[in-house]
Amino acid sequence: MKHASAQILEFEALRELVGRYISSPTGRAELARLNPGTDRAAVESLLAEAGEAIVYVRAAAQPHRAERGAAITLRFDSLADPTAALGKLHIEGACLEGQEIHELLELLERASDARALLVAAAERFPLLAARAARMGDFRPLLRELAGRIQPDGAVADDASPALARLRRDLERQQRLIQESLERFLREHRDEGVLQEEFVTIRNERFVVPVVAGRRRRLEGVIHAASGTGHTLFLEPLETIERNNELVRLREEESREVHRILLDITMRLGGCRESIARTVEIMGALELAFAKARFAVDFGGVIARLSPRENPRLALRQARHPLLEDVLRRQGGRVVPFSLELAGAFRTLVVSGPNTGGKSVTLKTVGLLVLMAQAGLPVPCEEAEIPLFDQVLADVGDQQSIAESLSTFSAHVVRLREMLETATADSLVLLDEPGRATDPDEGGALGVALVEDFRRRGCFTLVSTHLAALKACGASTVGVIDAAMSFDQRTLAPTYALRLGVPGLSAGLEIAGRLGLPAALVERARASMSEGRRDLARLLALLHEKLEAATRREADLAREQAAVAERDKALANKWAERESARLRELDRHAQALAEQFEARAREVIAGIERDGENRKFAAQARRRVAQARREFEEQREARAIPGRQETPAGSRPAIVEGARVRIQGIREPARVRRLLGPERIEVEAGPLRLQVPVAEVVEVLEAVEPAPAAGVRLLGTHPAEGTLREINVIGLRAQEARDQVDKFLDQAAVAGVREVRIVHGYGAGVLRRVIGELLAGHPHVTGYQAAPAEQGGAGATVAALREQ
């Protein structure tokens, strides 16, 4: 990337904006090295990593993080600059200060936490985890050194046994000296020799203040005098030895502290390469998360790099981040724009009024390209860019008094440099080429420049007021016109970019609105050629019609949204009413079933009172229970959530052998034969039914259905028809009894003459319960243990009476 273009496009200001999200010196150092790159693999890696960081930051900001399995916020604040400490680690015999060690250990501890968090989330954030995994694992070293250096850099008492002992001795010695001096003060309190009654320190020795004129009355050593000379600081003779011992202990403590610091320094120096790499990676991680927080605040996305063989420059709802930052503080908002250049169409000519946003549009495109190629999110809803080898920009006034360059001269010098370096992989930004000279010559120069860059295959954005360039956009293949629109009533710019139409400069209208005499403006308009006036009127009419069409389109979109909202509300209301109606019907059906069951119990109780009819009462009770079960099954089948009848025209054809779901029957059925266009015969478990085709709710996939309720078809008995069985092994006694009772009813209705009940051996509970049921069951004429080849004592064969 050309430095001049990065400077023109304010990339450094953008770097400072991103720097607001960085707090540590290592992160700021990493940001200082951030520049747009041209290596596709490296750029894509940075973009992908920033994309993961955005997901991480958004996940960490969500409430209920634990339930969502989201990320934990990483902290990079309050970290000191480790540069000096790292430099000392490379010097043989150098010793780090306590504060340097504490700051370095704190950084390593924070790095270990970040490493653990990201590596644990490797499945969700593989790129961040891979970068974090390259950091050293310092947890064993940190555990060993934990607590040895305090936050203020002091060495803790328990950093070594010798230091702990020395500090206990120091404390005891200081207490002895304090007590000795306090006795001295009490003894001489009434002699008039003491200036004040307190103990202080001079030259690292404990002393007392005495009156200068009465010094000779006291024995001891004078260590200092006050500024006035009226007070001397005396070390009494009796405390000299104790102070000497205190000095010796302090020297030993200092030597032990130095030994501990040197030992820790050597321990850190042994892994200095890993520490240096970890510090660098921490800076890179902080930059990645700074990019993410910038993206969240500014609505940024990760741009896609279009393939080299099919380059495409597409921005949707793009905004200039620096302009947006300024307008936010002022309470305003940026008007976003969208554009797309691809294939043969790689040149965009933007025209429109002064202060309408043409230059900002060019700068936005250029800066967003630089940001993307630096691995930064771009403030858009969607972005795709080619990988440019350079961004060449001539935007703004390059006038230089120092170099004796006029505006036009500086402009031409810059154009020459661009022409010398532009390639097919370059992005070219031309702000009003041919300006500051004769309009006809300037227009001709601008057209020639655009044509040259177009032939080279450059992606080129041009802003202009010149008619020649506007005409070039309308008449040249591969060039697209665009207009910065403005309100034709107020002549105020709207900053909206409209593709496919040249813009109006409206210079005379704006001049009149800003106060120039109307007569002067009219004379200027009259001096224009008839063709220029016609062109201006045509463009004004075109813009007016486009504005009207845009308003109608917006009104239509609002109406469609309102209709969709009304439809949704009506659908929800209908669903609620239908649900309420179904609930009411269900309650009513349940009440009727309960009334029927109560009445049936009364009738059966009356029958039971007659001893001769007890057998019929038991049979009636089973019939009532069966009816109740069937009622519940049909009610549940009709209430299966989410089931909808399939329209006859869209469901698969009903053929013999197909599996279908019949309205009111819970189990799937199989089509046995077609009885005509409107009726079919189906087999549902032991039942054979003839039903209308209209009652087919769903045609199922052709998969062999699992037997219902443990029933399985075994084969054909030569004398007694179809043999069926039920397996109740593993069920509780009452569950097995109910299952077998229901099974016997179904088998009797289906005309089965013999059934087998598999209950297993176990403790014999199921066999006994099944035997009791069969002994009194109205459908059973007899039962016995199954033959050895059919299960022996683990199964029971029952004969059913003919219905």
Whether residue 640 has pLDDT greater than 50:
no
Residues 6 or more apart in contact with residue 204 via CB below 8 angstroms:
247, 250
Q: Convert the pLDDT of each residue in 366-421 to its tens digit.
A: 999 999 999 999 999 999 999 999 999 988 755 443 343 456 777 788 888 899 99
Rounded CA separation 482/104 (Å): 56
Q: Convert the pLDDT of each residue in 137-189 to its tens digit.
A: 899 999 999 999 999 999 999 999 999 999 999 999 988 888 888 888 887 77
**Angle CA 540–481–302, to nearest 5:** 125
- Annotate 510-528 with b (16+ C-beta within 10 A) or e (fewer): bbbeeeeeeeebeeeeeee
Q: What is the pLDDT of residue 709?
A: 40
Whether residue 790 has pLDDT greater than 60:
yes
pLDDT band, residue 629 (cuts 50/70/90) = low
Q: Which of 522 and 54 is assigned the larger pLDDT?
A: 54
Rounded CA separation 223/324 (Å): 68
Phi, psi at residue 222, to the nearest 5°? -85, 130
pLDDT band, residue 716 (cuts 50/70/90) = very low
Question: Quick one: 803 exposed, middle or buried, by C-beta within 10 A (0-12, 13-18, 19+)?
Answer: exposed
When mean pLDDT is compared over 10-19, 192-201, 508-517, the highest value belongs to: 10-19
Q: Convert the pLDDT of each residue in 327-377 to its tens digit.
A: 999 988 888 999 999 998 999 988 877 666 888 999 999 999 999 999 999
Whether residue 646 has pLDDT greater than 60:
no
Phi, psi at residue 664, to the nearest 5°? 90, -10
Q: Convert the pLDDT of each residue in 721-747 to its tens digit.
A: 344 788 888 788 888 888 888 888 888
- Integer Rg of the chain from CA: 47
Rounded CA separation 62/41 (Å): 32
Rounded CA separation 214/116 (Å): 70
**Angle CA 394–396–398, to nearest 5:** 80
- Tell me whether strands 780-785 and 721-727 are parallel, antiparallel or unpaired: unpaired
Q: What is the pLDDT of residue 575?
A: 74
- Written as one letter, the residue type at 281 is I
675 contacts 689 by C-beta, under 8 angstroms: no
Mind spelling out the 3-state secondary structure of 264-331?
HHHHHHCCHHHHHHHHHHHHHHHHHHHHHHHHHHHCCECCEECCCCCCEEEEEEECCHHHHHHHHHCC
- Tell me whether strands 459-464 and 426-431 are parallel, antiparallel or unpaired: parallel
718 by DSSP, 3-state: which? coil
353 contacts 505 by C-beta, under 8 angstroms: yes
435 by DSSP, 3-state: which? coil
579 contacts 573 by C-beta, under 8 angstroms: no
- Tell me whether strands 479-486 and 347-351 are parallel, antiparallel or unpaired: parallel
Domain annotation for the chain: domains and CATH numbers: 3-138+271-298 (1.10.1420), 159-264 (1.10.1420.10), 312-527 (3.40.50.300), 707-803 (3.30.1370.110)
DSSP string, 505-531: --HHHHHHHTT--HHHHHHHHHTS-HH
Mean pLDDT over each residue of the chain, to the nearest integer: 80
479 by DSSP, 3-state: which? strand
Q: How many residues does the chain have?
A: 803
pLDDT band, residue 641 (cuts 50/70/90) = very low
pLDDT band, residue 15 (cuts 50/70/90) = very high
Q: What is the pLDDT of residue 543?
A: 56
DSSP 8-class letter at 647: P
Sign of the four-CA dihedral 245, 248, 254, 256: negative
Rounded CA separation 787/757 (Å): 12
Phi, psi at residue 701, to the nearest 5°? -65, 150
- Tell me whether strands 795-800 and 780-785 are parallel, antiparallel or unpaired: antiparallel
Q: What is the pLDDT of residue 704?
A: 44
According to DSSP, the residues that pair with 205 across neighbouring strands are 202
636 by DSSP, 3-state: which? helix
288 contacts 54 by C-beta, under 8 angstroms: no
Q: Which of 724 and 456 is assigned the larger pLDDT?
A: 456
When mean pLDDT is compared over 439-448, 487-496, 711-720, the highest value belongs to: 439-448
- Annotate 108-139 with b (16+ C-beta within 10 A) or e (fewer): bebbbebbebbbebeebbebbbebbeebbbbe
> Which secondary-structure segment (H or E) carries 250?
helix 240-269
pLDDT band, residue 711 (cuts 50/70/90) = very low
According to DSSP, the residues that pair with 484 across neighbouring strands are 497
DSSP string, 488-510: TTT--EEEEEEETSPPP--HHHH
Question: What is the distance, to the nearest Å, from the Cα of residue 135 to the centroid of all Cα atoms in its chain?
Answer: 24
800 by DSSP, 3-state: which? strand
DSSP 8-class letter at 701: P
**pTM confidence score:** 0.63
Whether residue 529 has pLDDT greater than 80:
no
Question: What does the pLDDT average to over 241-246?
Answer: 87
783 by DSSP, 3-state: which? strand
Cα dihedral 105, 109, 110, 116 in deg (nearest 10): 160
Question: What is the distance, to the nearest Å, from the Cα of residue 465 to the centroid of all Cα atoms in its chain?
Answer: 44
Q: Which of 181 and 601 is assigned the larger pLDDT?
A: 181
